[in-house]
């Protein structure tokens, strides 16, 4: 992971993989007011990769402030074995491990991006992405404990199970008013060999445990740089979002960040991509308000911490924007045409 130390402006932590090729120049015209990593100042490694070579990286982060002002970071480590880590830092640069959740501990073939959340009652929750052994299916579970370190041994219960047609993972979970909301990366399983296709679905809950699907809110656009899929990674208080996109199956693991805006009033919780190109050469961008900042304003760079995973990218692809469908039905392949490249 890396930390962006410039001031004023956001502080960014990123899980990196070795850059093996040239990256395309990001288009920042759509993201000038959106906190992006690498906007200026030096960057230091906060959580290094577990080793050198292919498939050795630390990233897919979820950041949260603890009540003592320290920064908590949940992330995935990819090495000989996948596992999730929860770590604490007093300054956003040096992290101490509090908990490790291995794939065996979760009964999973692999793990992916977790989501760390604190309830109003002070309980900590970690939403975990788990691959079902012997299949392409993924599901999301949750663990609960009084402390972040206690999540290491807490039991896991399924909250988003997916089904035979759809794998679900990489949750973004947050409190909103008296309830909860979540965005899930969904992968259609109807076409063997094409399970990397992805779209984002939205769900709401009264307690963060019992969820109701609200339909698809973000998809890729045919012929565009995000044609193969769109995975939401962070949401600002005003509804603007960052998402991962890619044009083809060959770009799997090399997604770039694009921006999306809320649909017009009265058109539901859908999101529309902004612009025709990615704005940042990273993936899994997470954005967190600093405790001393104006957390109600999403445009003040001085009130943001950012966490990302980085990778080299192929050349940019361009396309057109289209309106996104929204439905009350659970996500399924038939209602999400246009995702696959």
Per-residue pLDDT of the chain (341 residues; tens, 9 = 90+): 554 433 323 333 333 333 323 233 334 344 447 888 776 556 667 788 898 888 888 999 999 999 999 999 999 999 888 999 999 999 888 999 999 999 999 999 999 999 999 999 999 999 999 999 999 999 999 999 999 999 999 999 999 999 999 999 999 999 988 899 999 999 999 999 999 999 999 999 999 999 999 999 999 999 999 999 999 999 998 899 999 999 999 998 889 999 999 987 666 679 999 999 999 888 999 988 877 644 322 222 223 344 555 433 333 222 222 222 333 334 653 343 332 22
The model's pTM is 0.81
CA distance 186 to 169: 7
Strand, coil or helix: what is 334?
helix
CA atoms within 13 A on the CB side of 37: 30
Residue pair 276/256 in contact (Cβ under 8 Å)? The answer is: no
The number of residues making up the chain comes to 341
Residue pair 218/232 in contact (Cβ under 8 Å)? The answer is: yes
């Amino acid at each position: 992971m890396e930390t962006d130390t410039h001031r004023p402006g956001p502080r960014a932590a990123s899980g990196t993989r070795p850059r093996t090729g040239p990256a395309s120049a990001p288009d920042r015209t759509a993201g000038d007011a959106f906190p992006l990593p690498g906007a200026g100042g030096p960057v230091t490694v906060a959580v290094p990769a577990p080793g050198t070579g292919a498939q050795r990286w630390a990233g897919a982060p979820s950041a949260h402030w603890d009540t003592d002002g320290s920064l908590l970071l949940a992330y995935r480590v990819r090495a000989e074995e996948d596992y999730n880590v929860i770590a604490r830092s007093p300054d956003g640069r040096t992290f101490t491990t509090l908990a490790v959740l291995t794939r065996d501990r979760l009964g999973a073939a692999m793990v992916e991006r977790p989501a760390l959340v604190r309830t109003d009652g002070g309980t900590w929750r970690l939403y975990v992405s788990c691959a079902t052994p012997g299949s392409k299916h993924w599901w999301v579970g949750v663990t609960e404990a009084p402390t972040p370190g206690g999540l290491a041994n807490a039991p896991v219960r399924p909250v988003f199970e997916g089904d035979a047609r759809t794998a679900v993972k990489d949750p973004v979970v947050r409190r909103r008013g008296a309830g909860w909301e979540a965005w899930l990366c969904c992968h259609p399983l109807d076409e063997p060999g094409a399970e990397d296709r992805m779209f984002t679905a939205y769900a709401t809950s009264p307690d963060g445990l019992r969820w109701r699907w609200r339909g698809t809110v973000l998809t890729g656009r045919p012929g565009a740089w995000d044609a193969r899929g769109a995975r939401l990674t962070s949401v600002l208080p005003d509804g603007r979002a960052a998402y991962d996109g890619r044009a083809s199956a060959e770009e799997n693991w090399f997604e770039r960040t694009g921006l999306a805006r809320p649909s017009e009033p009265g058109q539901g919780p859908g999101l529309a991509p902004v612009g025709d190109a990615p704005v940042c050469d990273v993936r899994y961008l997470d954005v967190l308000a600093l405790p001393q900042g104006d957390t109600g304003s999403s445009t003040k760079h001085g009130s943001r911490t950012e966490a990302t995973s980085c990778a080299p990218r192929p050349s940019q692809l361009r396309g057109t924007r289209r309106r996104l469908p929204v439905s009350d039905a659970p996500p399924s392949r038939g209602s999400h045409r246009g995702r696959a490249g």
